[in-house]
């Protein structure tokens, strides 16, 4: 039976190639298939639309990233097949419910589970496609995982004859696939979208809902609507976002789509009767939207923005403040509160909040110290038996650094050092009276409990800190190396939100 091919923009070659490897006849379908492409290249969308266009093809989709470990992944496979067969074979549902997917803890348990399941369904025959959407995104990944699934497919094919398993693996990392180059597994490559393709896809995907938002805005403000102007406003906004941020996001459709969501509402607020028919005026009024992503790491938005200077030359106080800020930067202080407000006011920070907890902020500060302060100074700087002192007294007699460590690349560090510095700087709330028995039993240092590791995981998921190897299966391993992934300007803002002065820890260094 001929398969229906969905019409997907810029992915017709991949769809046609997919139909060459997948067939309604199990003898013509390949047992294993790779779909390789980086993030936001359309792998998941294409495979989803392909099976939607061919409902006779039975498929089960798994998200390995949600399973975390391979044990949970094979349990998820057993459970997904069980639920799928509930709908397909309602007459056998009572017997199928007697099977326990949680009993599957090893690959051979999965074979036993499937054998029992298909013995119940011995009167039926089906071809089943198992889709692993992002196999290399599984945290507990290693080089043997794919080999286990390949062997599993072979074992099932020999023991079960009425059901035919076909595996489809969606892979992001090309280096992961390079390990299995000699296996001769068919591969369909999804290249990155070009600039023009991204722009056209965004217009196709977002035009309708953005157009309706614009009509609602015009109606609420009693502005006479014109179809040509509306079309121009939506297209211009999408084009401006692409031109402003494509060099940062790359051709990542998801990232640019998120920026459209973040800034479209603010852009609409700048449209009124005076500039509705003038795209240039709208752009000038909204130009701050295209100067920065407007992300902030503090819980409160700074809405006390300074008004722009209207050209008055008699404001001597502003000139004196600017000269003072310049002198402080040359002396090595970096940023103060006034300087930061001056810089932030140019981009009007009304964007996304990450809402980091206090513990997560201190972990991030500790990670910055780990990357930019040498380990040999830890005992003299972070010991609670000594106070922080400026200059030579805190570091001992040594030659002044020729360059500020903040200007260098972040150094890697181990988790043990991060937790030690975090314990030293994290403020513990003490309710016991000093010298009492309760104070002796209490902890003066925070322990590395589950809450600490949850906040650490949150920072890692936000890419504020990261490991040096993307192949790390256990992020809490003592062998894992970490590094901070934010600049000085951001970490100082985070430190200010918890009233923590970071500048005293970098005293006595050159700022050239």
Token pair, residue 109, equals: 């348990």
Residue 463: which of 437, 478, 482 has the closest Cα? 482
pLDDT number for residue 107: 86
Which of 47-56, 315-324, 424-433 shows the lowest mean pLDDT across its residues?
A: 315-324
Check whether 326 has a pLDDT greater than 60: no
**CB count in 10 Å sphere of residue 283:** 17
Give the per-residue pLDDT at 205: 94
Please tell me whether residue 95 adopts helix, strand or coil conformation: helix
Q: Look at residue 341 in the predicted model and tell me its pLDDT.
A: 37
pLDDT score for 2:
81
pLDDT of 359 over the 50 cut: yes
364 against 303, higher pLDDT = 364
Contact 131/93 with Cβ under 8 angstroms? no
pLDDT at residue 60, as a whole number: 96
| Confidence category of residue 305, pLDDT binned at 50, 70, 90 | very low
Cα–Cα distance measured from residue 151 to residue 157, given in angstroms and rounded to the nearest whole number = 10
Given a cut of 70, whether residue 288 has pLDDT beyond it is yes
pLDDT digits (tens, 9 = 90+) for 470-494: 555 566 676 788 999 888 888 888 9
Tens digit of pLDDT for each residue in 81-90?
A: 999 999 999 9
Residue 466 DSSP label:
E
d(CA 477, CA 165): 36
CA distance 19 to 10: 16
Tokens representing 313? 């030359």
One DSSP character per residue, 309-320 reads P-S-TT-HHHHH
How does pLDDT run across 71-82, given as a tens digit for each residue? 999 999 999 999
Spatial neighbors of 11 by CB under 8 A, at least 6 apart, are: 42, 46, 190
pLDDT score of 91 more than 50:
yes
Structure confidence at residue 272 as a pLDDT band (50, 70, 90): very high
Q: For residue 393, is pLDDT > 70?
A: no
pLDDT in tens, 184-239: 999 999 999 999 999 999 999 999 999 999 999 999 999 999 999 999 999 999 99
Q: For residues 401-420, give the mean pLDDT.
A: 76
- The secondary element (H helix, E strand) that includes residue 189 is strand 187-190
Q: Let me know: does 471 contact 175? Beta carbons within 8 Å.
A: no
pLDDT above 70 covers what percent of the chain?
76
Q: How far apart are CA 353 and CA 297, in angstroms?
A: 6
* Residue, of 392 and 36, whose pLDDT is higher: 36
Query: Residue 63 has what pLDDT?
Result: 94
Residue 169's closest CA among 69, 50, 44, 5?
44
What's the CA gap between 81 and 165, in Å, rounded? 11
Task: Please determine, for residue 389, whether its predicted confidence score (pLDDT) is greater than 90.
Answer: no
pLDDT range class, residue 355, cuts 50, 70, 90 = confident
| pLDDT score, position 308 | 41
Distance CA 275, CA 293 (A): 24
pLDDT of residue 390: 45
236-255 residue pLDDT tens? 999 999 999 888 888 889 88
Q: What is the pLDDT of residue 49?
A: 96
Residue 143 — very low, low, confident or very high, per pLDDT cuts 50/70/90? confident
**Could you give the domains of the chain?**
12-190 (3.40.50.300), 195-290 (no CATH), 358-506 (no CATH)
User: Which of 262, 256, 261, 281 minimizes the C-alpha distance to 271?
Assistant: 281
SS3 category, 353: strand
pLDDT value, residue 334: 41
Place of tokens 């805005």: 217
**CA–CA separation, 217 and 234 (whole Å):** 13
Residue 1: predicted pLDDT: 64
- Which residues, 6+ apart, have CB-to-CB distance to 127 below 8 Å? 24, 26, 29, 57, 58, 163, 164, 166
């Amino acid at each position: 039976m001929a398969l229906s091919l969905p019409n997907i923009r810029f992915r017709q070659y991949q769809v046609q190639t997919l139909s060459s490897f997948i067939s309604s006849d199990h003898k013509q379908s390949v047992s294993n298939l790779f779909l390789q492409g980086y993030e936001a290249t359309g792998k998941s969308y294409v495979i989803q639309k392909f099976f939607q266009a061919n409902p006779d093809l039975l498929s089960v989709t798994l998200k390995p990233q949600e399973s975390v470990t391979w044990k949970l992944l094979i349990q998820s496979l057993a459970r997904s097949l069980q639920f799928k067969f509930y709908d397909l074979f309602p007459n056998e549902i009572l017997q199928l419910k007697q099977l326990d997917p949680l009993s599957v803890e090893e690959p051979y348990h999965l074979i036993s589970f499937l054998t029992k399941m298909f013995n119940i369904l011995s009167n039926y025959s089906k071809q089943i496609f198992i889709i692993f959407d992002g196999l290399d995104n599984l945290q507990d990944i290693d080089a043997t995982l794919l080999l286990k699934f390949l062997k599993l497919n072979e074992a099932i094919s020999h023991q079960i004859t009425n059901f035919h398993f076909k595996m489809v693996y969606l892979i992001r990392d090309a280096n992961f696939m390079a390990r299995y180059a000699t296996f001769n597994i068919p591969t369909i490559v999804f290249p990155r979208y070009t600039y023009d393709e991204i722009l056209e896809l965004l217009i196709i995907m977002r035009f309708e809902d953005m157009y309706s938002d614009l009509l609602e805005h015009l109606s609420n403000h009693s502005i006479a609507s014109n179809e040509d102007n509306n079309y121009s406003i939506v297209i211009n906004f999408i084009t401006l976002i692409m031109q402003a941020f494509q060099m940062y996001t790359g051709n990542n459709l998801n990232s640019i789509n998120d920026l459209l969501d973040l800034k479209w509402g603010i852009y609409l607020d700048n449209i009124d009767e005076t500039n509705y028919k003038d795209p240039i005026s709208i752009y000038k009024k909204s130009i701050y939207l295209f100067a920065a992503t407007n992300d902030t790491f503090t819980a409160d938005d700074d809405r006390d923005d300074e008004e722009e200077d209207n050209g008055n030359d008699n404001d001597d106080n502003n000139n004196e403040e600017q000269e003072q800020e310049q002198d402080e930067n040359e002396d090595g202080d970096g940023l103060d509160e006034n300087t930061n407000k001056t810089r932030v006011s140019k981009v009007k920070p009304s964007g996304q909040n990450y809402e980091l907890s206090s513990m997560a902020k201190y972990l991030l500060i500790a990670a910055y110290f780990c990357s930019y302060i040498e380990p040999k100074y830890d005992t003299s700087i972070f010991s609670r038996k000594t106070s922080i002192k400026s200059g030579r007294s805190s570091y001992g007699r040594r030659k002044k650094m020729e360059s500020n460590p903040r200007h260098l690349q972040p150094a890697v560090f181990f988790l043990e050092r991060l937790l030690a510095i975090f314990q030293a700087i994290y403020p513990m709330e003490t309710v016991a009276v000093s010298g009492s028995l309760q104070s002796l039993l209490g902890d003066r240092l925070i322990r590395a409990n589950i809450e600490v590791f949850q906040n650490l995981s949150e920072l890692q998921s936000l890419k504020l800190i990261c490991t040096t190897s993307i192949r790390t299966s256990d992020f809490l391993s003592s062998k894992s190396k970490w590094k901070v992934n934010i600049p000085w300007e951001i970490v100082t803002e985070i430190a200010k939100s918890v009233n923590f002065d970071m500048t005293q820890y970098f005293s006595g260094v050159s700022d050239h």
